[in-house]
């Protein structure tokens, strides 16, 4: 680095200005992504059994076949006991009607219903206050089983690689649509957050990779780490967030994306037979 460059980067307040410029550009990009996301993708809350089966198939493809976290199932569907008291959410690609990902919000119905991290990562939470057993069962949830099919995780550069399974084809997805795909996981978390808020749930837990938690902080989703990193489907740690902190910290650009998704979730909630209206604890 030249003397001039060294002098320039050390100017008082320059780093602050650079951070502000980067944040401004990121927010502008996030707003653009939000509008593209709303144009091409939408949240779906599956009530019909056929749609719920699609969730199990996506999870099997990701968790059993690709990641090998769970054994292969003969019927090609991954499910567990927590599904009985969970709300599913999917992201649908409007044009193709393919599902770009799924997530669930585990909502205990009674005292014996555990969160997945309580069963499989017992003792992982070391925070003396922010732990599930400190709250009423009706006030807690866990976001889990987030899965994005390989079809929607390919980089734009990968679309020319030919006929390999899951490769995005430029004739199927437009340039604008491709820009949305890296944000599908964020969209799933934001959709789950909307469900949590609709259900008036006060405390949310999630087991995730620390690097994913750091990525979430970039958009203003500031999970609080409440225990050490452990070996559970890779290196993961328990995190906590509540609706107040979520809404207060979400960056302006991603607030736009959240608002788009929240409207979509509310449309789903308004449909006949929906079971996630605030205060409704039906399975």
113 secondary structure, DSSP code = P
The pLDDT value recorded for residue 89 is: 96
| DSSP 8-state assignment for residue 205 | E
| pLDDT (tens digit per residue) in 199-250 | 999 999 999 988 888 878 877 889 999 999 999 888 899 999 999 999 999 8
Identify the structural domains of the chain with CATH numbers, from first to last: 33-158+173-270 (3.40.630.30)
Average model confidence (pLDDT) across the chain: 80
Query: Strand 140-147 and strand 41-44: pairing?
Result: unpaired
User: Percent of the chain at pLDDT above 70?
Assistant: 75
Tell me the pTM. 0.80
CA distance 54 to 148: 12
pLDDT, tens digit, 9 for 90 and up, residues 131-162: 999 999 999 999 999 998 887 775 444 343 32
pLDDT digits (tens, 9 = 90+) for 232-241: 888 899 999 9
**pLDDT of 173:** 44
Name the DSSP class of 40. Answer: H
Residue owning tokens 């997805």:
173
Measured CA to CA in angstroms, residue 3 lies from 9, 14, 86 at distances of 10, 16, 60
């Amino acid at each position: 680095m030249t003397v001039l460059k060294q002098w320039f980067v050390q100017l008082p307040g320059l780093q602050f200005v650079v951070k502000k410029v980067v944040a401004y550009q990121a927010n502008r990009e996030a707003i653009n992504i939000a509008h593209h996301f709303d144009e091409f993708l939408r949240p779906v809350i599956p009530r019909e059994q056929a749609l719920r089966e699609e969730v199990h198939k996506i999870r099997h493809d990701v968790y059993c076949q690709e990641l090998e976290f769970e054994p292969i199932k003969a019927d090609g569907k991954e499910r567990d006991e927590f599904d009985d008291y969970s709300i599913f959410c999917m992201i649908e690609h409007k044009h193709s009607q393919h599902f770009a990902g799924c997530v669930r919000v585990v909502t205990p119905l009674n005292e014996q219903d555990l969160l997945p991290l309580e069963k499989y990562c017992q003792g992982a939470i070391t925070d003396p206050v922010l732990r599930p057993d400190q709250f009423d069962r009706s006030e807690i949830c866990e976001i889990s089983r987030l899965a994005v099919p390989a079809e929607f995780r390919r980089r734009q550069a990968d679309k020319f690689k030919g006929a390999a399974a899951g490769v995005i084809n430029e004739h199927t997805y437009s340039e604008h649509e491709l820009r949305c795909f890296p944000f599908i996981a964020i969209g799933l978390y934001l959709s789950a957050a909307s469900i949590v808020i609709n259900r008036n749930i006060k405390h949310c837990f999630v087991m995730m990779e620390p690097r994913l938690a750091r990525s979430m902080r970039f958009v203003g989703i500031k999970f609080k780490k409440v225990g050490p990193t452990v070996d559970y489907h890779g290196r993961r740690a328990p995190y906590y967030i509540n609706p107040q902190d979520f809404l207060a910290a979400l960056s302006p650009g991603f607030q736009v994306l959240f608002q788009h998704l929240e409207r979509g979730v509310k449309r789903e909630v308004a449909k006949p037979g929906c079971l996630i209206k605030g205060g409704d604890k039906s399975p």
